[in-house]
Amino acid sequence: MNQIYEKHLWGGNEFDFYSGFGSHNPNIVQPYLNAVINFLTSFENPLTVCDLGCGDFNIGKHLVPYTKKYTAVDIVEPLIERNKKLFKGAKVEFRCLDIAKDKLPLADCIILRQVLQHVSNVEIQKITKKLYSYKYVILTEHIPNNNFTPNIDIISGQGIRLKQNSGVNLLEAPFKLKIKVAKQLTTFTLENQKSEIITSLYQLL
């Protein structure tokens, strides 16, 4: 992931970090923010939130005010150091962690936004086991807009499973996440009509 930002494989300029069009296109970002903020504000007592794969924080910065505490995690240390300088606040904490290997921060709700799609099945399985420590998971994945084979394995990195007509579905094998409630929050269909970005809310058992 360090190389992705160093070589600007997701775009942006040489002077800053950029987490790709999925974190900056207003047609994708605004409906997502509306849905997540609506969920967060539905509680009388604000939730603690842990954002796994916070990236350049163009999304997270809008969610912080609606939480009790917001812990933003990424594996890229220079990115975390940059975020610490740009987004200081009493409610937000930035931590550099490998979410497949390291112990995750405590929270009520996990956000995983277009993270697992870049990760191998072995690493996803490690992450999935840790999700049962949380009550809610807000998961966003980029998947084919047709009948597809879920969870074809890849090597962790820049790419995702679309070229193999696949995408991550935590409810299917080999992950089979056990949930109490599932709700689709947003869907964005890309211009080619062949894929879509879907955000789901899971309440875990």
52-87 confidence digits (pLDDT tens) = 999 999 999 999 999 999 999 999 999 999 999 999
pLDDT digits (tens, 9 = 90+) for 146-165: 999 999 999 998 889 999 99
- The whole-chain average pLDDT of the chain stands at 93
Task: Classify residue 97 as exposed, middle or buried by CB count within 10 Å of its CB (0-12, 13-18, 19+).
Answer: middle
Q: What is the pTM of this model?
A: 0.93
Output the CA angle 145-24-41, nearest 5 degrees. Answer: 85
Would the pLDDT of 96 be above 80? yes
Domains defined for the chain, CATH in brackets: 2-204 (3.40.50.150)
Name the percent of the chain lying above pLDDT 90.
86
Higher pLDDT, 9 or 198: 198
Each as own residue / partner, the long-range contacts of residues 176-182 (CB below 8 Å, 24 or more positions apart, any chain) are 177/128, 177/131, 177/137, 177/202, 177/204, 178/132, 178/204, 178/205, 179/203, 179/204, 179/205, 180/204, 180/205
pLDDT digits (tens, 9 = 90+) for 113-132: 999 999 999 999 999 999 99
User: Residue 20: what pLDDT?
Assistant: 80
